Amino acid sequence: MPPSTPSESSAPSPTSSGISLRVNGETYALPVDHRTTLLDALRERLDLTGTKKGCDHGQCGACTVLVDGRRSLACLQLAVATEGREVTTIEGVADGDQLHPVQQAFLDLDGYQCGYCTPGQICSALGVIEEHAAGWPSAVTADIAPQAAPAPLDAAEIRERMSGNLCRCGAYASIVEAVARAADGSSAGVRGTEVTA
Ligand code: FES
Ligand code: FES
């Protein structure tokens, strides 16, 4: 049996810890090196490879997951800092064989080409719809006065709110349509995505 690497050892160490990760409703006990990102823990340790690594520097959005219902870049978050929180990845979005309305809208409207950015786009869209429903303004919301009527989730709002998710295939027009269609159905919530204003 090969010797354990520091990140795999369960012995107490100044550089590693045993943590408990909640992902898609399951609990995983995991010894991790303190430097392990959530993205690497998901992909390399839990084999949840739906979450993609693009830039690994917080600039492309490919690694977007939901943490306690908020959008989070898994490449910028340490796994140890995620302990006790509820992580939702693309693997946890569908209900068995039943696609989530956001997934179905991406499929129906060709909101992808190669598909590499798509898991992050869909997780981000889930967060966008919940954030908008909770009344959170964006940088393009015209009237942010507390008494103002909620701005519609129109194309400008969707583009702004999804602007952290890059698509090298340039499927943006269809992505905006898919988010708009899914938001219209407003049945976007998945486990752990509820947010409060
Ligand atoms: S891989 Fe995380 S933002 Fe690009
Ligand atoms: S579909 Fe290819 S990068 Fe977005």
Query: Each residue of 140-161: pLDDT tens digit?
Result: 998 877 777 778 999 999 999 9
The mean pLDDT of 74-101, rounded to a whole number, is 97
Token digits of residue 97:
């064989």
Angle at 197 between CA 146 and CA 50, to 5 degrees: 140
Q: Is residue 8 part of a domain?
A: no
Report the side by side order of strands in the sheet with 26-33. Answer: 26-33, 16-23, 86-88, 64-67, 70-73
Q: Is residue 58 part of a domain?
A: yes
Token digits of residue 99:
């696609």
Q: Give the count of beta carbons closer than 10 Å to the beta carbon of residue 183.
A: 24
CATH number for the domain that contains residue 156: 1.10.150.120
Q: How far apart are the CA of 71 and the centre of ligand 1, in A?
A: 12
d(CA 41, CA 61): 17
Q: CB of 117 closer than 6 A to ligand 1? A: no
pLDDT of 114 above 70: yes
pLDDT digits (tens, 9 = 90+) for 119-130: 999 999 999 999
The mean pLDDT of 115-122, rounded to a whole number, is 98
Q: How far apart are the CA of 111 and the centre of ligand 2, in A?
A: 9
For residues 65 and 137, state if they share a domain.
no
Q: What pLDDT is stored for residue 143 in this prediction?
A: 83
d(CA 124, CA 126): 5
Domain range spanning residue 81? 16-92
For residues 79 and 137, state if they share a domain.
no
Q: CB of 115 closer than 6 A to ligand 2? A: yes
Q: What pLDDT is stored for residue 7 in this prediction?
A: 46
Q: CB of 79 closer than 6 A to ligand 1? A: no
The mean pLDDT of 170-178, rounded to a whole number, is 97
**Cβ-based neighbours of 109, under 8 Å, separated by 6 or more:** 174, 177, 178, 181
CATH number for the domain that contains residue 34: 3.10.20.30
CA dihedral 116, 121, 126, 130 (to 10 degrees): 160
pTM of the model: 0.87
Q: Is residue 191 part of a domain?
A: no
Q: CB of 63 closer than 6 A to ligand 1? A: yes
DSSP-assigned beta bridge partners for residue 32: 17
């084999």: which residue's tokens?
47
Transcribe 143-163 into DSSP letters. ---TTSPPPP--HHHHHHHTT
**Cβ-based neighbours of 92, under 8 Å, separated by 6 or more:** 23, 24, 25, 190, 191
For residues 54 and 80, state if they share a domain.
yes
DSSP-assigned beta bridge partners for residue 88: 66
**Cβ-based neighbours of 77, under 8 Å, separated by 6 or more:** 37, 38, 39, 67
Assign 11 a pLDDT band (cuts: 50, 70, 90).
Answer: low
End residue of a domain, out of 92, 110, 130:
92
The mean pLDDT of 45-66, rounded to a whole number, is 98
pLDDT of 53 above 50: yes
For residues 80 and 105, state if they share a domain.
no
